[in-house]
Structure formats: C-alpha cells, structure tokens
Structure 1
Amino acid sequence: MATKKKRTPNTQNSSSSWVAITAESAIDTHKDGDPAFVKLRHPSTDAASLYLFSSGDVGLYEVKAFTEDCHSWFIGQAVQRDGRLLYITPMDPLYLMLPYLVKAATEGKFQPLDQVVMDEEFPACSRLLGCTRSLSSVRHIAEEKEVGSQKFHRYSQEKTLQWLNKKVDRIAAALRRTNISVGEGVKSTTYVRVKAESDASDEDYLRYAHGLVSEYISQDLSRALLKHLQLPELLSPKETEPPSKKRKLSELPVEAAEDFSKFNSSDFARKPPKKMTTAQKTLAKVDKSGMKTMSSFFSPKVKVKAERK
C-alpha cells in the first residue's frame, strides 16, 4: 500500500527576512561595526519610527515602505506574508536633532550637544552626534561658542529658516528640472500627475517643495518657513486638491512597532463571525423539511424526454 509522503516543515522564519532597496553605502561593513536599525523619534509626528545607521554611524537613513493589499514575497523556500517593499534613503541627521535643540532653547543658554540630544525613551538618539554631517553642519541651525577645546550650541530660528530655505530652493529646482507637475490642483504630495504642466509658476514649485520639507519639521516651524518664503498661507487648500483616489502604493515611515525583531501574526487572524440577529435566530429554528428554496421557483424547468413506445 502506497504511503503519502509527508512534507518536511519549513523551519526558516520568514518574518526575519525582508525585501528592501537601498544604496550600497548603507549596508557596507567595516571594522567600526555593522549597520544597525534603531528606533528614533520622528521630527514631525513625534512618534517612534525606524531608521538605519550605516557602519560606524557614519550616515543616517530613513526607512519607508511601499504597501499594497494582499501581497507577499517568496524568499528562498519561505513565504513572507508581509508584502511591503522597504526602501532606505539617506537623511540629513539635522532634521532629527532639530526638535531637541528647539526644546533646549527654552533655557536660553549654550549647552554641549551631548547634553541636548538626549531622550530616555529613545536613547539611540545620541548616535546622531556620531554621523559625519552632524557636528560639521549643526552651525546651520544653532549658534556656536567655543570655550577651550569644548563647543557649546544654542538653537537659532533665524539660521534654521535660512537652512530650510536653501533646502526648499534645491528641491524646487530639482522638481522643475525633472518636469514634475506641481501646478494648481496638485498640492498634495500623495498625488503627482505624470504629464508636466508648462504653466507652473515659481510659487507652485516653492509651495510644493515647502510641503515636502514640512513632512520633517513641526507645524509651527512649517508656518514660520512659509512666511519666510513670503508665500501666502492657503485658507482652504482642500479646494485646490484633486479628488481623493485609492492609492495602490503608499509612502509611509515604518513604525518602530513593526521593526525587524518580531512579526505580528494577529494582523492576519481570521475575523470572528458576525452575531445573528433575533429574527435570524428565530428563522434558524424553523423546520425547513419539505420546503423549497426560493431559488427553485426561478430555476428553468427541466424538459422530460418522452419514452419511445
């Protein structure tokens, strides 16, 4: 008697494998250590988000995700049920340091950076000071004093607005150079028309670039930047936005609760059956033997062939 061959269970943990797109510089390893994913406070939302420090904390990278419903990945012989495509892009560490400097500015004094960039909830924020661009660029958002061999800093909104202004100008120039449509009706970063608009003004590009930068700064600073750019604030921006449409892909920061250390299988649990109403319960108790179904009254009649004599 033939026996049915049992399938060998797959011991590989698919939740530990992910699909990501990133530059080689983010994953290069050397003697200073390996790249590491860390939880840091998002500079705009103040929520926990996932970031990547390159080897030796030389560079900082933001982790975002393209998501689409009902998708998964085949990784080796395993199936990764989370079908997100992660993409890891370079990020200026000053954006993440800025909220700490703003908070410390209430004291009105110069302080060492290692006493400013501190967070009990996110202790890894101190690694921001190890990035190559951090110490050399902090002068763009803070005043600096040097006493002996030690440097002290204090937040400067004037310098910060000038720094952000340059960011907006560079982004606006890149948008124009690549013919990204930013005209009226395209005020949201979630909707970009493919066809370029030749009548887009400089204000359209600046306003769109301002919206992109505002995703990484506080609302108060975003309004101050808008005023610094001499752009009038839109009273009802929703009137100029296109009608909402379903997006197959989304660009969302990967929340720290969804990091690479665990997989939440409860998201895929089957939903419990809906409770029956009183009328449905009463109908279920009725004896239906001998009754015809409703569909039988509408089904076509079956032709009976006459028997040959």
Structure 2
Amino acid sequence: MSTHLAILPLDIIDALTARLNQENCHADYATRFLRLPHPRTGLASLFLLHDQHAQDDTIKTSSISEVQAISPANARTWFIGEEVIADGKLMVMTPMDPMFLLMYLLRVPQARDGSKGNFRPLQDIIEEVSATIADASEKEAQKDPSLKISADDIISFLSLDFVQSSIKRVCDIKVVTEEITVYRYSHDIVLENLKRKVGRLSDPRVAEMSRTLVRNLAKDGLMDDGKEELLESGRIKLACELLSQYLPRDVLQDLIASYDFSKLDAHLKTIRDEELALLAVAPDTRKRTKATKAVAAGDKNQKRKKDAKNTDADAAGDGDKKKKKDAKSSHGVEQLKKASVAGMSKLSTFFTKKTG
C-alpha cells in the first residue's frame, strides 16, 4: 500500500482522528472521493466529500474539498520516523464552495442559442447533466483513463442535501405546487452571488490578512496616502483574480466587466510605462558605454597600426639605403678589379727602409 503526505482541512483531521481513536462512538463519519468536472476547465478532477452526522441525525455537517497533487520539479522523498516515502508529492485538499461546481454542471443543459431555456424539475436536470458529461468523458477516457467521469459521481454530488440547498445561488426557482418545484440556470443570479463573494474578499479586514495581496497592492503604489479609491478598486480586482481559479472564462469576463476599473487601469498603465521606460534606458546606457569602449579600442588599434606602418617604413628605408650602399660599393670594387696595374709599384714598397 502506497503512502502519501497530505494537507487536510481541520474538520476532516478532527473527524478522522476521532474515528481512529474511537473517542466518539456516537458519531458516524463518511469520506469518499468523487471525480467531477473542474468548474474552470471542465477537466476531470478529484474532490473529497466529507460527511459527519450523529446517529440521531440532529447534527450534520457536509463539505467538499478539491484534491490537488503538488509534484516537485526534482525528485524528492519524505522521511517519517524510520520510514522513507519515495513519492515526494504532497496532496493538498482545499475546501471549496459547491456553488462553483453547480455553476458548471447546471450550465450544461443551457440552450445553444443563448436563451435562458425552460424551467424543469431538478431530477430531469440531474439526469441530463450526468448523461451528457459521462458520454463526453467516455471519448476522452479512451486517450487517458484518468479523464473518465462517471454518471454515478455526478448524480451522487447533485443529490446531496447541502448541494441542493446551494442551487438557489445559481438558479431561478419556481414553486408550481407543494410537490413540484422547477429550476432554470440563471447567469444573473450567479453574477450577483459572485459579487457578494468579491465584496467579502475585498473587505480590508480579509484582504489584508494575506501578505501576498498586501505586497501586490503596495507594489502598484496603492497603499500610499490619498489613493483610497484606487486601493478599493485594487482589492476588488484582486478578489476577482482569486475567484478566477474556479470560473469559466466568459463568467470571469462578465464579472470583471460589472466593475469600473478605468481609473485603476490608467494608474497601472502609468506605472508599467514608467517601468518599461527605465528598462529601455538601461540597455541604451550599456550600449553607449560599449560604443565608447569600442571607439577607444578602435583608436588604439589604428594608432598601433600606424606606428607599426611607420616602423616598417623606417626599416624598409634603412634597408634600401644599405642595399644601395652595398650595391654602390660592389660596383667600385668591380671597377678596380678591371683596372690595369702594370708598371705600378706595390704598396709594400712604400714601407721599406731606403738605403744610402
């Protein structure tokens, strides 16, 4: 049996601990994995369903968490006591609002022409959604079995009580009779509830709890005095970016378009332009420095060449003079060799002692 390290939500840790230690014999805990379409990409993703309720059903809590595997770029291992875990991946389970999953699933039966469609009983919607997604994933599973999404997982998820209680946040609802209630996906209701989430996330008491968000706001100069309006817009935009991890592209675009970010965008554009200007100046300075050095080096090279040329010219001149001198001397010797010496006294006679 393989071993994996995981980061779990606190309530799941508490439930598992209580179950393992049998400290709460009156409680029933259920955890299971479901493979569902990711609300942003539609790709098959793993989710952990966690139920906790007492035997008399007086207390019941349910939650769903996204399961992600973080794999390091380089091979790693974990050391736990005396055991070595060869698989260095870390499983992270993050609680998420079922609204995001519902938003994706209940958009499936929408009419292709963009109309709102008809009100239908929830059971009919669940059957159509599960069959449509299961059939589509069947083709993908032929390439990669991990992409297979079963109709049973979708039906199990949509049939959960805490999920059905969230349907009102993504659908128009009409009560026809006491026994019949019909539903229809509503883009307007989804945007309304997403804007409420943005409002909570952009609240200073929440937003400034994250050091990353604070650094991003400070980096863009939004934390300076006198920029309160821009700071508020910055918090809202960062909140939208946080939600973008779970939103289809068209829903995200409509959410952002529902806010006026014109002043913030102009401010950010000014900062980016200044940064680009600084980056543009730096290379020009380096180029000018290199050009100056190149010119200086060129002047030195030209001077060396000129000096070398002059030296070679001087050496060549001396050689020519020597050659001419040698040539002239050789000509005189040749002439002497040809002269007649008959009747001429020898040179030694001038050094003999005269007699008498």
- What TM bracket, shorter-length normalisation? 0.5 to 0.7
- In 1, the alpha carbon distance for the partners of 2:98 and 2:171 equals 14
> 46, 64, 68: which one pairs with 2:68?
64
Alpha-carbon RMSD across the aligned residues, in angstroms, is: 3.5
SS at match of 1:134: helix
- In 2, the alpha carbon distance for the partners of 1:140 and 1:96 equals 12
Partner of 2:324: none
Matched, 1:176 2:185: no
1:223 partner letter: Q
Deviations 1:169-191 (A, max 9, x none): 111111135553232767xxxxx
Partner of 2:150: 122
C-alpha spacing 1:185/1:65, structure 2 compared with 1 (3 Å): farther
Matched, 1:25 2:25: no
Pick the structure with more helix per residue. 2
Decide whether the 8 Å contact of 1:73 with 1:82 is kept in 2: yes
Q: Which moved more, 1:135-144 or 1:103-112?
A: 103-112
Matches within 5 A, 1:123-272: 123=151, 124-146=153-175, 147-173=177-203, 174-178=206-210, 180-181=213-214, 182-183=216-217, 197-198=223-224, 201-232=231-262
- In 1, the alpha carbon distance for the partners of 2:28 and 2:110 equals 34
Decide whether the 8 Å contact of 2:223 with 2:231 is kept in 1: no
Decide whether the 8 Å contact of 1:19 with 1:86 is kept in 2: yes
Identity %: 25
Which structure has the bigger radius of gyration? 2
- In 2, the alpha carbon distance for the partners of 1:84 and 1:224 equals 36
Structure 2 length-normalised TM: 0.53
Deviations 1:148-174 (A, max 9, x none): 323221011111111000111111111
**Deviation (angstroms), 1:206:** 0.8
Larger RCO (CA under 8 A, 6+ residues apart): 1
**Deviation (angstroms), 1:87:** 2.2
C-alpha spacing 1:75/1:122, structure 2 compared with 1 (3 Å): farther
**Deviation (angstroms), 1:139:** 1.2
After the TM superposition, list the runs of 4 or more consecutive aligned residues in structure 1 that deviate by more than 4 angstroms: 29-33, 75-78, 196-200, 232-237
> 113, 122, 126: which one pairs with 1:113?
122
SS at match of 2:104: helix
- In 2, the alpha carbon distance for the partners of 1:130 and 1:21 equals 27
**Deviation (angstroms), 1:130:** 4.3
Decide whether the 8 Å contact of 1:141 with 1:159 is kept in 2: yes
- In 1, the alpha carbon distance for the partners of 2:246 and 2:192 equals 16
Partner of 1:260: none
- In 2, the alpha carbon distance for the partners of 1:113 and 1:92 equals 20
**Deviation (angstroms), 1:103:** 2.3
> 67, 71, 78: which one pairs with 1:73?
78
C-alpha spacing 1:221/1:154, structure 2 compared with 1 (3 Å): same
Matched, 1:37 2:33: yes
Which 5+ residue runs of structure 2 have no aligned equivalent? 20-25, 53-60, 135-148, 277-356
Partner of 1:85: 90
SS at match of 1:34: strand
Q: Which moved more, 1:115-124 or 1:205-214?
A: 115-124
Aligned residues: 220
- In 1, the alpha carbon distance for the partners of 2:64 and 2:50 equals 6
2:3 partner letter: S
SS at match of 1:222: helix
**Deviation (angstroms), 1:92:** 0.7
C-alpha spacing 1:82/1:145, structure 2 compared with 1 (3 Å): same
